[in-house]
Amino acid sequence: MPGLLLGDEFPNFEADTTVGRIKFHDFLGNSWGILFSHPRDFTPVCTTELACAARISNEFKKRGVKMIALSIDSVEDHRNWSKDVMAFNSDAESALPFPIIADDKRELSVQLGMLDPDERDKDGLPLTARCVFVVGPDKKLKLSILYPATTGRNFDELLRVIDSLQLTAQKKVATPVDWKPGDKVMVIPSLSEAEAAALFPNGVTTKEVPSGKKYLRYTQP
Ligand code: BEZ
């Protein structure tokens, strides 16, 4: 069964969080959003991940992206563990700068395909995997990534993909391998040469290849 697909409207779920009960679409407002799940509170890799997310939360804010985490633990556990996360950052006086959803009944985790069958709690129930969903201001799913519980994510890479998503939402370009903001981008294949020339006043350069096909077109956005 395919789960949520790119372009699908993200469910407007209701959930208890560390900042009270939310309806997801109201929580997002007109912003972009990133929902990232972790397997369990009070575990090592999750602590390093959420601490990193907290340290760079201003970078998400700058990009107009609202952050929210999720695991199958209770609000009370989330609140207690948040203090460990901030202490790990040597910033124990500050609050975690984003809420955490308490999916202790695993309802959302099942609905959104977030469980990792290989990692289970003491009762044999699966833990949440490390899911990432990026949702646009139109509430549609723009990106999903799924890591197993045993592999921590790279939050700098998540900022990089958000930069790409936000750029490509505005301009008819695609970002090549290892692209970073400021680098050249590629003109999307569906644009004709005339359309590309009109849309990109900085010019379009085409790399010659043995096939003679002119598909490797770069521009500076
Ligand atoms: C961790 O966060 O360290 C972790 C959680 C569940 C399974 C494996 C690692």
Q: pTM of the predicted model, to two decimals? A: 0.96
In this prediction, residue 2 carries a pLDDT of 62
In this prediction, residue 3 carries a pLDDT of 80
Rounded distance from Cα 127 to ligand 1 centre (Å): 9
Consecutive 10-residue averages of pLDDT for the chain (221 residues): 87 98 98 98 98 98 98 98 98 98 96 92 93 98 96 98 98 97 96 94 96 96 86
Indicate the top mutation candidate among 37, 38, 40, 118 to test ligand 1's pocket, ranked by most ligand atoms within 8 A of CB.
Answer: 40
User: Which distant-in-sequence residues (6+ apart) come within 8 Å of 63 by Cβ?
Assistant: 32, 159, 162, 163, 166
Token output for 68: 């929210």
Indicate the top mutation candidate among 85, 119, 147 to test ligand 1's pocket, ranked by most ligand atoms within 8 A of CB.
Answer: 119
